[in-house]
Amino acid sequence: MGLLAVFVVLSMLSIGTSRCKYEPNWESIDSRPLPEWYDQAKFGIFIHWGIFSVPSFGSEWFWWYWQKQKQKPYVDFMQKNYPPGFTYPDFAPQFTAEFFDAKEWTDIFVASGAKYIVLTTKHHEGFTLWGSKNSWNWNAVDVGPRRDLVDEVVTALRGNSDLRLGLYHSLFEWFNPLFEQDAANVFTTNYFPTTKTLPELYELILKYQPELLWSDGDGDAPDKYWNSTGFLAWLYNDSPVRDTVVTNDRWGYGSICTHGGYYTCADRYQPGHLLKHKWESCISIDKRSWGYRRNAPLSDYLTIEQLVATLVETVSCGGNMLMNIGPTHDGRISPIFEERLRQMGQWLKVNGEAVYNTTAWRSQNDSVTPNVWYTFRPQEKSIFAMLLTWPNNGSVILHEPVVTPKQTQVELLGHGSVQWEPAKPGGLRVLLPQLSFSQMPCQWAWTLKLTGAT
């Protein structure tokens, strides 16, 4: 009887396992539920760091714009500042990271209120921030800082915070001869993914066990060329992070906004309305570049007001926001980036209840009063109305909530209870307290918490 019971249990486990096994096709891969932690997190930090941080001019696409497109600003920059014959790989020894302190970075990320980070382990230039076995002499261990920068970030993050680890990896490389050969063959050959891309992906997962894998750069090649569904089936079925890992939608030409984990759809994506599928808005504090730019004027940086407004709109519409910074070649997070990160943390310290662990409400924004966005906490039945501007007349009308006298209560987060009165034809008028600047709970956007309302 005991053996029979064991057999039954094992059979049930086998059935359960077979039901959860994902096949290497999009129908099966797309059926995997998104791990809950990602939707609850809402806010992450993107980090673009690589050889492009050395010239730190124009964009992280420096090599492509200079050598392939031969854009005049890049050609002129090189002719003016570097000797004839200087090549892009000659920048690598100058990628020194002498001021890089992963613990210091982690402290800044924690202060920002972010719940996860995504580090570029390899951008389209092909240079890896770890000692990749498949990137000989074009990685941070063999040249430049001669350190495993990925490992240092991972170790500091896990040793000093609760932030979840995300790793960015570019599928293609601009000037890799194997990729160029496959492209010339119209991707009927797959020398590059089998000898470079896929071995690196497996290595990243097995060595660092990230909880988010941010794929990018399909090089106009289809997902079959990259064997994306085969890799994702392994990731979801057999990898050490199969239960927690989250992926995006950049797995081959045509997959974006269609297949994969959550959708990114486009850089700086902002639909402005609720989507049926979980999505992410990745934006850069520097409006013109993802990598660090030495010559960026102040006007090219998003203000904290703009960043908070983007986070509020994104979360109200069911998305996550991934906010990008670009460290310097010597490993510093510049003061403008650090300030924005710490400002966001100050705002979230007051208003995080309306962001973390929330869901989209039945209305994303107010239909009459502008610059008011809603979120909802089902477990508490709390509605949050986030005001991007503080009213001049001392009150704000919220048209969407259905309220009940003596039952509905309103609280200004960071301050306390506030009075309200019914509005016609529906909703409520919230009477805001008269506060001096120093008494304001925060400086950039304000949240009203409604309980006893629907």
Q: What is the pLDDT along the chain (454 residues), one digit of tens a residue?
A: 444 344 334 434 443 444 589 999 999 999 999 999 999 999 999 999 999 999 999 999 999 999 999 999 999 999 999 999 999 999 999 999 999 999 999 999 999 999 999 999 999 999 999 999 999 999 999 999 999 999 999 999 999 999 999 999 999 999 999 999 999 999 999 999 999 999 999 999 999 999 999 999 999 999 999 999 999 999 999 999 999 999 999 999 999 999 999 999 989 889 989 999 999 999 999 999 999 999 999 999 999 999 999 999 999 999 999 999 999 999 999 999 999 999 999 999 999 999 999 999 999 999 999 999 999 999 999 999 999 999 999 999 999 999 999 999 999 999 999 999 999 999 999 999 999 999 999 999 999 999 999 9
Contact 56, 336 (CB under 8 A): no
pLDDT at 3: 40
3-state secondary structure of 79: helix
> What pTM value is reported for the model?
0.94
Which of 55-84 are b and which e, b meaning 16 or more Cβ less than 10 Å from the residue's Cβ?
A: bbbbbbbbbbbbeeeebeebeebbeeeeee
d(C-alpha 195, C-alpha 65), whole Å: 27
pLDDT at 10: 41
pLDDT at 373: 98
pLDDT at 363: 97
pLDDT at 20: 82
Strand boundaries in 2-155, DSSP class E: 43-47, 116-122
Q: Which residues contact 97 (CB under 8 A, 6 or more apart)?
A: 140, 144, 145, 147, 149, 329, 330, 331
Token look-up 């420096």 returns: 62
Token look-up 């096994």 returns: 21
Q: Which residues contact 242 (CB under 8 A, 6 or more apart)?
A: 235, 236
Distance of CA 368 to the CA centre of its chain: 31
Q: What angle do CA 388, 267, 23 make, to 5 degrees?
A: 120
Q: Which residues contact 28 (CB under 8 A, 6 or more apart)?
A: 22, 233
pLDDT at 348: 98
pLDDT at 8: 38
d(C-alpha 398, C-alpha 411), whole Å: 14
Q: What angle do CA 105, 207, 139 make, to 5 degrees?
A: 70
Q: Which residues contact 53 (CB under 8 A, 6 or more apart)?
A: 95, 291, 292, 326, 327, 328, 329
d(C-alpha 313, C-alpha 260), whole Å: 24
